[in-house]
Amino acid sequence: MKLKTEDCDVIGISESWANDTVNDAELCLSRYTMFRIDKEDASRVGRGLLLYVKDKWQATCCTELNDYGFSQSLWCSVKVKTGKLLVGLCYRSPASTSVNNDKLLELLTEVVQQGGYSNLLIVGDFNYPSIDYVHNSVSSGPDSAAAKFLDTTHE
């Protein structure tokens, strides 16, 4: 597969399937700084995150957010012309526990409150099929994990 990267400043890939047997050279993209989190358990499919930031931007990993308690997220700070951009890549498994769902909401609230950032970009695979983003509604009910996620992202 050929990835067209000419116009992309940030690329996020969830479910990379990478593990410690895959070295950085196999995953790196020319002219990009790469950040990665591998899947923890080789017996499970999916998981793993890759975040690429174009080399023209100065990017550093935000380990304090990566270790916040939500099972799969990767964060970096990017120095841009207008200040600093906080970039987050998240993967929420369809089988995510209620504790992990709550940690995701806590993490999103925390990143919004982070000082020193002029902008925030959060991308990923959140696996909430009951959310209809076109109509801004949730079919699973107002107290569901999906509804709480949608409310948090609106805030």
109 lies in a domain? yes
Contact at 8 Å (CB) between 100 and 47? Answer: no
Where residue 47 sits, what CATH number does that domain have?
Answer: 3.60.10.10
Question: What's phi and psi for 111, nearest 5 deg?
Answer: -65, -30
| pLDDT value at residue 37 | 84
Is residue 107 in a domain? yes
Question: Which of the residues in the chain have pLDDT under 50?
Answer: 1
Q: Are 86 and 114 contacting, i.e. CB atoms less than 8 angstroms apart?
A: yes
Enumerate the H helices of 28-97 as residue ranges. Answer: 63-66
Asked if residue 90 belongs to a domain, the reply is: yes
CA distance linking residue 38 with residue 27, whole number of Å: 12
| Residue bearing tokens 């400043």 | 9
Q: Which domain holds residue 128?
A: 10-154
Structural domain count, the chain: 1
pLDDT at 128: 95
Helix, strand, coil percentages in the chain from 3-state DSSP, rounded to 5: 20, 30, 45
Let me know if residue 58 belongs to a domain. yes
Q: What is the pTM of this model?
A: 0.86
Inside any domain, residue 5: no
Residue 1 belongs to a domain: no
Q: Evaluate whether residue 91 is within a structural domain.
A: yes
Residue 3 lies in a domain: no
Give the pLDDT of residue 41.
57
